[in-house]
Structure 1
Amino acid sequence: MHFETTVQRPVAASGIGLHSGVPVSIRIVPAPISTGIVFVRTDLDNFAIPASWRHVARVSYATSLMRQGVLISTTEHLLSVLYSMGIDNVYIEINNLEVPILDGSGQPFVELILQAGIRRYRKKRKYLRIRRPVMVEDRGKRISVVPDDSFRLTCDISFDHPMVARQELEIEVTPENYASEIAPARTFGFEYELGQMRNMGLIRGASLENAVCFDRTGVLNPGGLRFRDECCRHKALDLIGDLALIGKPLLGHVIARRAGHAMHAALVARLMSDPSLFEIVTFDSERAEPSSVLAGLSPQQVL
């Protein structure tokens, strides 16, 4: 798909915010060429907040965007799905301050995109291709991006827990790979941290229906884990959602070592502040286009 895309038809979902606990509904609506991904607060006179690194406001436990004092929280799961499934332009109508957590993974949003279908425009898609390596490092955590002809991730995590410990994932991000290998992975936490997080005003909407929770020795969810390395896969999901704030499909290999939202945002800001690190490219044919955007869904209509 070397042309820009939007969704074929509107789709909607409702749920609660993971951290706020408030009820919220979203509607994903087709948008014109070169619109990008734009959140629209329907409860605040349709105030628009573009999904851009320029509007990153908070990066503690989730990524939040703010424009002129208006907030959209926990954007990473939905943005991760739109980015990985090749959706360039949509309005996300939302009637509260936090994107619904649904089941804690990206899978319900993938199902929404499949339900909506993809509409392809005639305008060539612009990619951001990495020209020179860039790295951010802090207290034993590190994230970098190096040149590559496709969008690749290497992600590792380390937690002092027998069911997590050290996990690593390396994957080329295509719509097909994402839908089967990353999207089903749920957000997770540890029982002994819950009290502290609630005291911080977080996870007011969390339950075993929308998050994996570990006690000291095992997992509390009756159905167990979806993958042995579900935690690492979910970290990859979060990372993609934060990279989506670049605003263009990425051609590069991102390597994240124990990185979180703050470090993801720092990498994006560092990258976008120096145009010598990247170039903007288009492709004349699907034969020349990277495999990371050829696999998976087929556009249903050309405009």
Structure 2
Amino acid sequence: MKIDRILSNNAVLLITEQGEECVALGRGIGFGKKNGDAVDEAAIESRFLKSSGGLSTFFAEILSDIPPLYLSITEKIIRLARDALTIELQDTLFLALSDHINFAVLRYQKGMAIKNQLLWEIKRFYPHEFAIGQQALRIINESLQLQLPEDESGFIALHIVNASGENNMQKVMLSTEIVKNLLNIVKYDLNIVYDEQSLDYQRFITHLKFFTQRLLTREFVSHQQISLYDNIDQRLPRAWHCAQKLSSYVDKNYQYELTYDEVVFLAIHIERLRKDNFHH
């Protein structure tokens, strides 16, 4: 494998025998080397193949600005996430996360920590990713002798959520924001307290997450089995009324008109939560 570009003493851009570009990390791997030199396989501690398309110069430039230690921290975090979540994570996570860590540290050193406005929601909606975010924060703080705040765990969790789906970060944040608002409407409309451990609450959160994804990608659901839901507005009047409120909120703010079926599904979930609360 030949060096295409030296990113730092510990990171190089390589061209594999198959002609693919990959980032290789290893202590001193780029030290004293020049473009075109061969690399000893044994020196490579980890590598990241960019499977889709070439590594743009933009990608390489960002990586070359990031201290090598941050790259190996990023690699540790991604390995942690892969093992814990047993999901495929997109290659772009390596770039996005190392870039994020770099900026987070720079901001912290300048006394400009950024508040994570969605921290509470991320903890609730993405508990597994958030747990990884917390472990990642410990790794960062211990490796760099820093005290980055818990807000960072939330940001890292969102990066992982983003990399495990086909979303982009903007969408993940917007989706989290919408779920938060919908939950608030139900809470105040029915005057209930959520039992976050209950299965019905977890189901509702999951339903809302998928629902907002559909909303943002403009996919509509219709099951056309009206008989199944006949008179649901009469049978579950309170939940139906609340579901209508969600429907008009979504229509007004996101120009997404819910189908009859979608309102029905919301009403059924809301009714379960209402009953849960009633029994407490």
TM-score (ref. length: structure 1): 0.22
Report 1 or 2 for greater relative contact order, CA contacts < 8 Å, sequence distance ≥ 6: 1
More strand by share: 1
| Larger Rg over CA atoms | 2
**Quick check: which one's helix share is greater?**
2
Alignment TM-score, normalising by the size of structure 2? 0.23
